[in-house]
Amino acid sequence: MANIVTIGIVQDTASDDLASNVTRAVARVRDAASSGAQIICLQELFNAPYFCKTVRPERFDIAEPVDGPIVHTFQALAKELAVVIVVPFYEREAPGLYRNSATVIDADGAILGTYRKMHIPHDPLFEEKYYFAPGDVTGDQRTDRHPGYNGFRVWRTKYADIGVLICWDQWYPEGARITSLLGAQILFYPTAIGWHPAEKPTFGDAQVDAWRTAQRAHAIANGVFVASPNRVGFEPEPGTEGLEFFGQSFICDPFGRYLAQAGTEPTILTATCDLGLIEETRRNWPFLRDRRIDAYGPITQRWLGGA
């Protein structure tokens, strides 16, 4: 496996025309590949507006199975371009069972597996618990031999060993740590995060800074690269003030240094990552060596008391 890999992430809007969103994403992947990207990640639920702003049962109709048209489209594209593609979409796993998922397609078009979002939020305009079941923790989490495993996973792609976590997962150090311990060299965080318009003047800058800081901390604490593609644009919703997705996508190295940053407009970011920097960083900051794994049992409890 090469020590140098170029990764790309797509920051884009989404319209009510689902087919048009897919067509545009295909074009964005082609653009990223033409810029040298070998592993390319789209934003969370890329093919539709963020439909979780309100509870509307008809929106379950957006979901597709892993072997549906969306994944098939990107399998053919990955094979044509010889790139790895991370495809985040609304998955229909079974009747009445839906997931917020990301399928990893290798550079030969083969499906390596599907990650299902583990942490599901429930906030105003983020009604995700209605739409998504969380990923299950079953199967063999150390290998890909169990095709039904839905927990934290790592995929050995043609170009690098990668892990995928989705949006709300990015606030949890446990997910980043476990995925890194499984051997991930790059963590991808496809995202749909934005401002409530009424909050933006007071909290907007701080929210963006917190979002970036949390993920850069995962890179530093684990000695891995992190890439986070977010969506952009204001999306209205009847009966609400809507959401303004703030973009600010980025790629950073194991020191937390920005390799590429975006603003609030649609764009493609690429960055060349020297995977040898992981070894160098961990030798100088041996956080994994110094972990007190004998002392961490209480982390499995939801609360330990206190005032």
Catalytic annotation present for 44: yes
Q: What is the pLDDT of residues 229-276, one digit of tens each?
A: 999 999 999 999 999 999 999 999 999 999 999 999 999 999 999 999
Task: Answer whether residue 219 is part of any domain.
Answer: yes
Q: What is the pLDDT of residues 168-201, one digit of tens each?
A: 999 999 999 999 999 999 999 999 999 999 999 9
Q: What is the pLDDT of residues 98-150, one digit of tens each?
A: 999 999 999 999 999 999 999 999 999 999 999 999 999 865 544 444 444 45
Task: Answer whether residue 114 is part of any domain.
Answer: yes
Q: Which of 41, 91, 128, 167 is catalytic?
A: 167
Task: Answer whether residue 207 is part of any domain.
Answer: yes
Task: Answer whether residue 306 is part of any domain.
Answer: no
What is d(CA 63, CA 13) in angstroms, rounded to the nearest whole number? 19
pTM of whole model > 0.85?
yes
Catalytic annotation present for 117: yes
Task: Answer whether residue 174 is part of any domain.
Answer: yes
Residue 303 has pLDDT above 80, yes or no: yes
Task: Answer whether residue 101 is part of any domain.
Answer: yes
Q: Which of 41, 52, 53, 117 is catalytic?
A: 117
What is the band of 1 on the pLDDT scale with cuts at 50, 70, 90? low
Task: Answer whether residue 16 is part of any domain.
Answer: yes
How confident is the model at residue 307, as a pLDDT?
A: 63
Is-contact 8 32, C-beta < 8 A? yes
Question: In this structure, what CATH number is given to the domain that contains residue 65?
Answer: 3.60.110.10
Catalytic annotation present for 41: no
Quote the domain boundaries for residue 67: 4-292
Task: Answer whether residue 89 is part of any domain.
Answer: yes
Instruction: Compare 87 and 306 and report the one with higher pLDDT.
Output: 87
Q: How many distinct structural domains can be found in the chain?
A: 1
